[in-house]
Amino acid sequence: MSRPGAGRRPLVSGNWKMNLDHLEAIHAVRDLGLRLQPADVTSVDVAVHPPFTDIRSVQSVLEGEGIPVALGAQDCAVEDRGAFTGEVSPVMLARLHVEYVIVGHSERRTHFGETDAVVAAKVRAVLRNGMVPVCCVGETVDERDIGLTQERLTAQVSAALGGVPAVEVASLVVAYEPVWAIGTGKAATPGDAQEACAWIRGVVAQVAGEEAATQVRIQYGGSVSADNTESLMVCPDVDGLLVGGASLDAGAFVEIVRAASRTAR
Ligand code: PGA
Protein backbone atom coordinates (compact mmCIF):
# COMPACT_ATOMS: atom_id res chain seq x y z
CA MET A 1 0.00 0.00 0.00
CA SER A 2 1.53 3.32 -0.93
CA ARG A 3 1.04 6.54 0.93
CA PRO A 4 -0.51 9.37 -0.99
CA GLY A 5 1.31 11.81 1.36
CA ALA A 6 3.97 14.14 0.00
CA GLY A 7 7.05 12.13 0.97
CA ARG A 8 6.58 12.79 4.66
CA ARG A 9 8.26 10.08 6.72
CA PRO A 10 5.80 8.76 9.30
CA LEU A 11 6.65 9.11 13.00
CA VAL A 12 5.32 6.64 15.57
CA SER A 13 5.79 7.96 19.11
CA GLY A 14 5.21 6.29 22.45
CA ASN A 15 4.07 8.62 25.24
CA TRP A 16 4.65 6.76 28.48
CA LYS A 17 3.07 9.50 30.59
CA MET A 18 3.73 8.99 34.35
CA ASN A 19 4.45 5.28 34.03
CA LEU A 20 7.58 3.10 34.35
CA ASP A 21 10.34 4.04 36.80
CA HIS A 22 13.92 4.12 35.49
CA LEU A 23 14.52 0.42 36.14
CA GLU A 24 11.31 -0.58 34.38
CA ALA A 25 12.21 1.84 31.60
CA ILE A 26 15.58 0.16 31.02
CA HIS A 27 13.79 -3.15 30.75
CA ALA A 28 11.15 -1.71 28.39
CA VAL A 29 13.62 -0.20 25.89
CA ARG A 30 15.80 -3.31 25.92
CA ASP A 31 12.68 -5.32 25.12
CA LEU A 32 11.85 -2.85 22.34
CA GLY A 33 15.38 -3.17 20.96
CA LEU A 34 15.16 -6.96 20.89
CA ARG A 35 11.83 -6.95 19.08
CA LEU A 36 12.42 -4.22 16.50
CA GLN A 37 13.75 -5.54 13.21
CA PRO A 38 15.73 -3.34 10.79
CA ALA A 39 12.83 -3.59 8.31
CA ASP A 40 10.48 -2.06 10.87
CA VAL A 41 12.32 1.25 10.79
CA THR A 42 13.34 1.59 7.15
CA SER A 43 10.29 3.68 6.33
CA VAL A 44 9.09 5.05 9.67
CA ASP A 45 10.70 6.96 12.54
CA VAL A 46 10.08 5.69 16.06
CA ALA A 47 10.39 7.63 19.32
CA VAL A 48 9.70 7.07 23.01
CA HIS A 49 8.83 9.77 25.56
CA PRO A 50 9.70 8.48 29.05
CA PRO A 51 9.25 10.45 32.30
CA PHE A 52 12.10 12.88 33.09
CA THR A 53 13.66 10.63 35.74
CA ASP A 54 14.07 7.86 33.13
CA ILE A 55 15.61 9.88 30.35
CA ARG A 56 19.28 9.45 31.20
CA SER A 57 18.87 5.69 31.67
CA VAL A 58 16.91 5.31 28.43
CA GLN A 59 19.47 7.42 26.56
CA SER A 60 22.28 5.13 27.74
CA VAL A 61 20.47 2.00 26.59
CA LEU A 62 19.39 3.42 23.22
CA GLU A 63 22.87 4.75 22.42
CA GLY A 64 24.83 1.92 24.03
CA GLU A 65 22.90 -0.79 22.22
CA GLY A 66 22.32 1.10 18.97
CA ILE A 67 18.54 0.83 19.18
CA PRO A 68 16.99 2.80 16.29
CA VAL A 69 14.53 4.72 18.45
CA ALA A 70 14.67 8.47 19.07
CA LEU A 71 14.49 9.86 22.58
CA GLY A 72 11.65 12.18 23.52
CA ALA A 73 10.43 14.12 26.54
CA GLN A 74 6.85 14.84 27.61
CA ASP A 75 7.18 18.54 28.44
CA CYS A 76 9.80 21.19 29.21
CA ALA A 77 10.18 24.60 30.81
CA VAL A 78 9.70 27.80 28.85
CA GLU A 79 12.98 29.22 30.16
CA ASP A 80 16.46 27.80 29.63
CA ARG A 81 17.63 28.31 33.25
CA GLY A 82 16.98 30.18 36.45
CA ALA A 83 14.82 30.24 39.56
CA PHE A 84 12.02 27.92 38.41
CA THR A 85 11.79 25.27 41.13
CA GLY A 86 10.68 21.92 39.82
CA GLU A 87 10.97 22.76 36.13
CA VAL A 88 13.12 20.91 33.59
CA SER A 89 15.11 23.02 31.17
CA PRO A 90 15.05 22.37 27.42
CA VAL A 91 18.84 22.94 27.48
CA MET A 92 19.21 19.97 29.83
CA LEU A 93 17.02 17.80 27.62
CA ALA A 94 19.05 18.68 24.54
CA ARG A 95 22.23 17.72 26.44
CA LEU A 96 20.73 14.25 26.91
CA HIS A 97 20.21 13.98 23.15
CA VAL A 98 16.45 14.35 23.41
CA GLU A 99 15.15 14.89 19.87
CA TYR A 100 11.40 15.35 20.35
CA VAL A 101 9.50 17.18 23.09
CA ILE A 102 5.73 16.89 23.49
CA VAL A 103 4.24 20.31 24.08
CA GLY A 104 0.67 21.17 25.08
CA HIS A 105 -0.62 17.66 25.70
CA SER A 106 -4.27 17.87 26.75
CA GLU A 107 -3.36 16.49 30.18
CA ARG A 108 -1.00 19.47 30.66
CA ARG A 109 -3.63 21.86 29.39
CA THR A 110 -6.38 20.38 31.60
CA HIS A 111 -4.60 19.44 34.84
CA PHE A 112 -1.84 22.06 34.87
CA GLY A 113 -3.60 25.01 33.31
CA GLU A 114 -1.35 25.36 30.27
CA THR A 115 -2.80 28.05 28.05
CA ASP A 116 -2.27 28.49 24.33
CA ALA A 117 0.25 31.23 25.22
CA VAL A 118 2.27 28.87 27.43
CA VAL A 119 2.19 26.21 24.72
CA ALA A 120 3.44 28.75 22.18
CA ALA A 121 6.33 29.72 24.47
CA LYS A 122 7.26 26.05 24.92
CA VAL A 123 7.24 25.44 21.16
CA ARG A 124 9.76 28.26 20.86
CA ALA A 125 11.85 26.93 23.77
CA VAL A 126 12.11 23.51 22.13
CA LEU A 127 13.02 24.96 18.73
CA ARG A 128 15.56 27.35 20.28
CA ASN A 129 17.37 24.33 21.68
CA GLY A 130 17.50 22.41 18.42
CA MET A 131 14.81 19.85 19.25
CA VAL A 132 11.51 19.06 17.53
CA PRO A 133 8.26 20.05 19.24
CA VAL A 134 5.38 17.59 19.04
CA CYS A 135 2.64 20.15 19.50
CA CYS A 136 -0.64 18.61 20.66
CA VAL A 137 -4.01 20.04 19.71
CA GLY A 138 -7.52 18.66 19.91
CA GLU A 139 -11.10 19.40 20.84
CA THR A 140 -13.05 18.24 23.88
CA VAL A 141 -16.23 16.23 23.51
CA ASP A 142 -18.31 19.31 24.35
CA GLU A 143 -16.58 21.36 21.68
CA ARG A 144 -17.17 18.57 19.15
CA ASP A 145 -20.82 18.22 20.11
CA ILE A 146 -21.55 21.88 19.46
CA GLY A 147 -19.62 21.93 16.20
CA LEU A 148 -16.56 23.83 17.43
CA THR A 149 -13.90 21.29 16.40
CA GLN A 150 -12.47 23.26 13.49
CA GLU A 151 -12.61 26.55 15.36
CA ARG A 152 -10.75 25.07 18.32
CA LEU A 153 -8.08 23.48 16.12
CA THR A 154 -7.59 26.74 14.23
CA ALA A 155 -7.18 28.67 17.49
CA GLN A 156 -4.73 26.17 18.99
CA VAL A 157 -2.58 25.77 15.87
CA SER A 158 -2.47 29.51 15.12
CA ALA A 159 -1.56 30.35 18.72
CA ALA A 160 1.19 27.72 18.89
CA LEU A 161 2.79 28.33 15.49
CA GLY A 162 2.01 31.95 14.66
CA GLY A 163 5.23 33.90 14.16
CA VAL A 164 7.44 30.79 14.03
CA PRO A 165 9.63 30.92 10.88
CA ALA A 166 8.18 28.77 8.09
CA VAL A 167 11.31 26.62 7.82
CA GLU A 168 10.96 25.69 11.51
CA VAL A 169 7.24 24.99 11.17
CA ALA A 170 8.08 22.65 8.29
CA SER A 171 10.35 20.60 10.56
CA LEU A 172 8.03 20.16 13.53
CA VAL A 173 5.25 17.76 14.39
CA VAL A 174 1.62 18.54 15.21
CA ALA A 175 -0.33 15.82 17.00
CA TYR A 176 -4.09 15.83 16.56
CA GLU A 177 -5.40 14.33 19.79
CA PRO A 178 -9.14 14.67 20.31
CA VAL A 179 -9.48 14.82 24.09
CA TRP A 180 -12.44 12.41 24.06
CA ALA A 181 -10.31 9.72 22.40
CA ILE A 182 -7.40 9.80 24.86
CA GLY A 183 -7.31 6.78 27.13
CA THR A 184 -10.94 5.94 26.43
CA GLY A 185 -10.55 3.03 24.01
CA LYS A 186 -12.68 5.08 21.60
CA ALA A 187 -10.35 6.21 18.80
CA ALA A 188 -11.49 8.69 16.18
CA THR A 189 -12.71 7.06 12.98
CA PRO A 190 -10.23 7.28 10.10
CA GLY A 191 -12.67 9.69 8.43
CA ASP A 192 -12.75 12.02 11.43
CA ALA A 193 -8.97 11.80 11.90
CA GLN A 194 -8.35 12.59 8.23
CA GLU A 195 -10.78 15.51 8.26
CA ALA A 196 -9.16 17.05 11.33
CA CYS A 197 -5.58 16.48 10.13
CA ALA A 198 -6.40 17.98 6.72
CA TRP A 199 -7.95 20.96 8.50
CA ILE A 200 -4.81 21.37 10.63
CA ARG A 201 -2.65 21.27 7.49
CA GLY A 202 -4.81 24.02 6.04
CA VAL A 203 -4.32 26.15 9.14
CA VAL A 204 -0.55 25.58 8.95
CA ALA A 205 -0.68 26.79 5.33
CA GLN A 206 -2.39 29.99 6.46
CA VAL A 207 0.05 30.51 9.32
CA ALA A 208 3.33 29.50 7.67
CA GLY A 209 2.67 29.01 3.96
CA GLU A 210 2.00 26.09 1.61
CA GLU A 211 5.57 24.75 1.62
CA ALA A 212 5.62 24.37 5.40
CA ALA A 213 2.15 22.80 5.33
CA THR A 214 3.29 20.21 2.79
CA GLN A 215 6.25 19.24 4.95
CA VAL A 216 4.89 19.40 8.51
CA ARG A 217 4.16 15.98 9.98
CA ILE A 218 0.74 15.55 11.57
CA GLN A 219 0.18 12.64 13.93
CA TYR A 220 -3.08 11.23 15.17
CA GLY A 221 -3.30 10.26 18.86
CA GLY A 222 -6.03 8.78 21.05
CA SER A 223 -6.63 5.07 21.74
CA VAL A 224 -4.30 3.92 18.99
CA SER A 225 -3.82 0.14 18.89
CA ALA A 226 -2.37 -2.40 16.47
CA ASP A 227 -5.93 -3.02 15.31
CA ASN A 228 -6.67 0.53 14.17
CA THR A 229 -3.16 1.57 13.04
CA GLU A 230 -3.45 0.66 9.36
CA SER A 231 -6.84 2.27 8.89
CA LEU A 232 -5.56 5.52 10.45
CA MET A 233 -2.21 5.48 8.66
CA VAL A 234 -3.68 5.15 5.17
CA CYS A 235 -5.33 8.57 5.62
CA PRO A 236 -3.37 10.93 3.36
CA ASP A 237 -2.92 13.64 6.00
CA VAL A 238 -2.05 11.32 8.90
CA ASP A 239 1.74 11.12 9.06
CA GLY A 240 2.14 9.05 12.18
CA LEU A 241 0.72 8.20 15.57
CA LEU A 242 1.14 9.37 19.16
CA VAL A 243 0.51 6.28 21.24
CA GLY A 244 -0.17 6.34 24.99
CA GLY A 245 -1.32 3.19 26.78
CA ALA A 246 -0.34 0.76 24.02
CA SER A 247 3.26 2.05 24.02
CA LEU A 248 3.93 0.76 27.54
CA ASP A 249 4.11 -2.79 26.29
CA ALA A 250 7.03 -3.30 23.89
CA GLY A 251 5.26 -6.10 22.05
CA ALA A 252 2.11 -4.06 21.45
CA PHE A 253 4.14 -0.99 20.45
CA VAL A 254 6.21 -2.96 17.92
CA GLU A 255 2.99 -4.32 16.39
CA ILE A 256 1.84 -0.71 15.89
CA VAL A 257 5.21 0.30 14.39
CA ARG A 258 5.04 -2.70 12.04
CA ALA A 259 1.48 -1.94 10.94
CA ALA A 260 2.45 1.69 10.33
CA SER A 261 5.47 0.66 8.33
CA ARG A 262 3.33 -1.62 6.14
CA THR A 263 1.27 1.40 5.08
CA ALA A 264 4.39 3.51 4.52
CA ARG A 265 6.05 1.23 1.96
P1 PGA B 1 -3.81 6.79 24.59
O2 PGA B 1 -3.05 8.20 24.85
O3 PGA B 1 -3.13 6.14 23.40
O4 PGA B 1 -3.62 6.02 25.85
O5 PGA B 1 -5.23 7.12 24.29
C6 PGA B 1 -2.62 9.01 23.80
C7 PGA B 1 -1.95 10.24 24.32
O8 PGA B 1 -2.44 10.83 25.30
O9 PGA B 1 -0.91 10.69 23.78
Q: Choose the residue to mutate in 223, 227, 248, 256 for probing ligand 1, maximizing ligand atoms within 8 Å of C-beta.
A: 223
The number of the ligand 1 atom at minimal distance from the alpha carbon of 221 is 6
**pLDDT tens track for 199-252:** 999 999 999 999 999 999 999 999 999 999 999 999 999 999 999 999 999 999
Which pLDDT does position 265 carry in this prediction? 66
Partners of 100 in the β-ladder: 72, 132
For residue 114, report the phi and psi dihedrals to the nearest 5 degrees.
-70, 120
Closest CA to ligand 1's atom 1: 244
What is the phi/psi pair of residue 184, to 5°?
Answer: -105, -10
Torsion sign (Cα): 218, 219, 221, 225: positive
Task: Tell me the CA–centroid distance for residue 82 and ligand 1, in Å.
Answer: 32
The closest-lying atom of ligand 1 relative to the alpha carbon of residue 185 is 5
pLDDT at res. 236: 97
Tell me the percentage of the chain whose pLDDT exceeds 70: 97
Catalytically annotated residues: 105, 177
Residue 147: Cβ-neighbour burial (10 angstroms; 0-12, 13-18, 19+) = exposed
33 — pLDDT class (breaks 50, 70, 90) = very high
Angle at 107 between CA 100 and CA 228, to 5 degrees: 70
Distance (angstroms) between ligand 1 centre and the Cα of 134 equals 14
Residues with CB under 6 A from ligand 1: 15, 177, 182-183, 221-224, 242-246
What are 83-122's pLDDT values in tens digits? 999 999 999 999 999 999 999 999 999 999 999 999 999 9
Among 20, 49, 177, the mutation site with the greatest number of ligand 1 atoms within 8 A of its Cβ is 177
Rounded to 10 degrees, the C-alpha dihedral 254/257/260/261 comes to -100
Quote the mean pLDDT of the chain. 96
Q: Quick one: average pLDDT of 115-137?
A: 98
Identify whether the C-beta of residue 69 lies closer than 8 Å to the C-beta of residue 31: no
> What spacing in Å lies between the alpha carbon of 183 and ligand 1's midpoint?
5
Q: Which pLDDT band, with edges at 50, 70 and 90, does 264 fall under?
A: confident
- Quickly state the pLDDT bin for 1 (edges 50, 70, 90): very low
Please give the distance, rounded to the nearest whole angstrom, from the Cα atom of residue 197 to the centre of ligand 1: 17
- CA–CA separation, 201 and 64 (whole Å): 37
User: Is the entire prediction scored with pTM above 0.85?
Assistant: yes
Residue nearest to atom 6 of ligand 1 (CA): 244
Average pLDDT over residues 3-8: 66
Per-residue pLDDT tens for 139-173? 999 999 999 999 999 999 999 999 999 999 999 99
